Amino acid sequence: MAGTITEKILNKHIVEGEKKAGAEVALRIDNTLTQDATGTMAYLQFEAIGIDRAKTEFSVSFVDHNTLQTDFKNADDHLFLQSIAQRYGLYFSRPGNGICHQVFLERFAKPGNTLIGSDSHTPTAGGIGCFAMGAGGLDIACAMAGAPFRIKYPKIVGVHLTGQLSPWVSAKDVILEVLRRIDVKGGVGKVLEYFGEGVKTLSVTDRATITNMGTETGCTTSIFPSDEVTKSFLEKQGRQEQWIELLPDDNAEYDEIIEIDLSSLEPMVALPHSPGNVSTVREVGKIKVDQVAIGSCTNSSLRDLKMVANALKGRTIASNLHATVSPGSRQVVEHLIDSGEYRDMVRAGVRILENACGPCIGMGSAPKSGAVSVRTFNRNFKGRSGTADADVYLVSPETAVATAITGYLTDPRTLGDLPELKMPDKFFVNDNMILKPLPVEEAKEVEIIRGPNIAPLPKFEAIGNSLSGKVLIKVEDNITTDHIMPAGARILPLRSNIPEISKYVFEAIDCDFHRKAKENDGGFIIAGDNYGQGSSREHAALAPKYLGVKAVIVKSFARIHLANLINFGIVPLTFVNPDDYSNIDEMDELEINIGDLQGECVLHNKTKGNKIKLTHSLSRLDAEILKAGGKLPWIKKSMGKEMKNE
């Protein structure tokens, strides 16, 4: 039967459900990944399930977010993660080895496999033909315990690429063009599958840049074929035996098609404060810039940094700004050192940072007050850089390096001839900073190391048939998980301490939220469209739950955050009539009869004396999980039954 790449992979992994757009399906998961900002909680949850060893084909734990060690907290967490990996049979990528998505692409990602990761940019692996999705940490824990991962069967959007990119135009400009067309929620419920003759002109890391930032459209994932380009990449990584050909059939049918002529694209830029606010660099014109930051999981590959180094060769960065580079992995750094291109960046005045997420997650290199920062990252949400009033622009490495040279936002085509990049015939492979899983019997003897910042998991009770309380906050459209649960060097180290991190919920919008939630014994959140877009961070659900939030009522949800709310027992409801959003205000007293969550329910606004119809997209299983108080108590009960039956 003819099919798309998406259908071919899903057909081999669906264990339950109907292959129909919008219907819930359960997928067998081959691999998982975590990073340290989300991993500590995910592994505490995995421990609580009570499984003796991870049941996936393989799982990998990375340290790449919380590497700024200003006190004991992050260092303690790293040791906890390492000991957990040794105890439960995981690979462990040590601090300094690189950014999870870049290293996973280089050393682990397999065409045709399914992957979920506790980071929203896990679809990076789609660049190699892996069906990769971001998810909450609890979903990762459950997948490691052998449970399937449930999604709504997606619509499949074919992105038809023709032509070839012009000099100084790159993969980042492709995904910025996609975002310009469909914005930050145009991909919800969809897979973006790339096909066509233009695909052959893009390297695996080019493709990974596109699938990485495809996350910002709200899509389930993005994916490219596994073809001769993929085969060559895996051969250079010494993993040629893992290659399979994975192409769409000639008569594959897509639910929608987006046509992009690569040769027609020009350098693009996402303006503050949304990845979907896209224009051309030429149209935006000359803007004085205070900082240029190059790297992140989107643009820290060897190809990208070779471009930067060669453009900088013999030049010095502009005197009115500072520039940073964060390489994606040690492999990238070793090649840049070997070729002398690392020296070219240093001589030009660039500050070389650690092989980690760094500035992208607000972990250092915050720009000055009121700054204009030009970055090759994937998000430019207000305040994410660490500076509340900074304006962040998202661009390609080519545009970033041109800007670093001139001091102004600059179309890189003005730099003259494109430098010739020489890529290696074989990549340097040195996995000495990746600890392999221990044998079963040896693993059982490992003692898990727990620092004082690792607090016990909070326990949540089952939910009754009605919810009552006050509206704690009312927010607008496109509220991100950064708004709900900020990141950065001050807050990220508290990820394994829910009582402490909960003090910062909604800090960027209402610094009084924590107090109001405590004084009113929890309550409700009211929001507009696309609530919870952005990061997969489950703390944006877990910390509000700890504060007593009972339900979130919105016009629409972002996919991963919706799943996280269900996982932690917060009822996600939507307005039947979106205009009813205007009929509720902060501190209104509400009562909602949710019953068994099988159909519409009615909200009674006791303050205003009106009634509002609410609905939801919950399956019967979602409702069962919610009523149990969340996925952790539900999965423990389910696993207990399975063990008894065995």
Identified catalytic residue from 150, 239, 335, 537: 537
Residue with tokens 């995995």: 46
Mean pLDDT value across residues 193-207 = 98
Topology given in CATH for the domain delimited by 268-412: Aconitase; domain 3 (3.30.499)
In this predicted structure, the answer to whether residue 324 has a pLDDT above a threshold of 50 is yes
- 165-180: pLDDT as tens digits: 999 999 999 999 999 9
535 catalytically annotated: yes
Mean pLDDT value across residues 355-365 = 88
5-264: CATH, from 3.40.1010.10, 2.60.120.1310, 3.40.50.970, 3.30.499.10: 3.30.499.10
In this predicted structure, the answer to whether residue 162 has a pLDDT above a threshold of 90 is yes
Q: What is the 3-state secondary structure (H, E, C) of 537-557?
A: CCHHHHHHHHCCEEEEEECCE
| Nearest one of 177, 222, 173, 221 to 195, comparing CA atoms | 222
Query: What's the CA gap between 227 and 243, in Å, rounded?
Result: 9
* pLDDT at residue 643, rounded to an integer: 39
In this predicted structure, the answer to whether residue 644 has a pLDDT above a threshold of 60 is no
Of all residues in the chain, the percent with pLDDT exceeding 70 is 98
* pLDDT at residue 29, rounded to an integer: 98
Token digits of residue 475: 């927010």
* pLDDT at residue 645, rounded to an integer: 42
The DSSP call for residue 520 is T
In this predicted structure, the answer to whether residue 258 has a pLDDT above a threshold of 80 is yes
In this predicted structure, the answer to whether residue 637 has a pLDDT above a threshold of 80 is no
Identified catalytic residue from 64, 344, 482, 622: 64
65 catalytically annotated: yes
Identified catalytic residue from 13, 36, 59, 65: 65
All residues at 6 or more sequence positions from 555 whose CB lies less than 8 Å from its CB, including other chains: 477, 527, 528, 529, 531, 574, 575, 578, 581
Mean pLDDT value across residues 339-351 = 97
Topology given in CATH for the domain delimited by 466-643: Aconitase; domain 4 (3.20.19)
Residue 301's pLDDT band (boundaries 50, 70, 90)?
A: very high
In this predicted structure, the answer to whether residue 523 has a pLDDT above a threshold of 50 is yes
Picking from 109-118, 192-201, 635-644, which range would have the lowest pLDDT averaged per residue?
635-644
119 catalytically annotated: yes
Which ranges in the chain are annotated with CATH 3.20.19.10?
466-643
* pLDDT at residue 237, rounded to an integer: 98
273 catalytically annotated: no
Mean pLDDT of the chain: 94
379 catalytically annotated: yes
Mean pLDDT value across residues 366-375 = 96
515 catalytically annotated: no
- 527-549: pLDDT as tens digits: 999 999 988 789 999 999 999 99
Residue 406's pLDDT band (boundaries 50, 70, 90)?
A: very high
* pLDDT at residue 345, rounded to an integer: 97
Given a contact cutoff of 8 angstroms between Cβ atoms, the answer to whether 325 and 305 are in contact is yes
Q: Collapsing DSSP states into helix, strand and coil, what is residue 239?
A: coil
Token digits of residue 226: 């596994």
Identified catalytic residue from 30, 76, 119, 588: 119
Q: How large is the C-alpha radius of gyration of the chain?
A: 24
Mean pLDDT value across residues 424-445 = 96
Which ranges in the chain are annotated with CATH 3.30.499.10?
5-264, 268-412
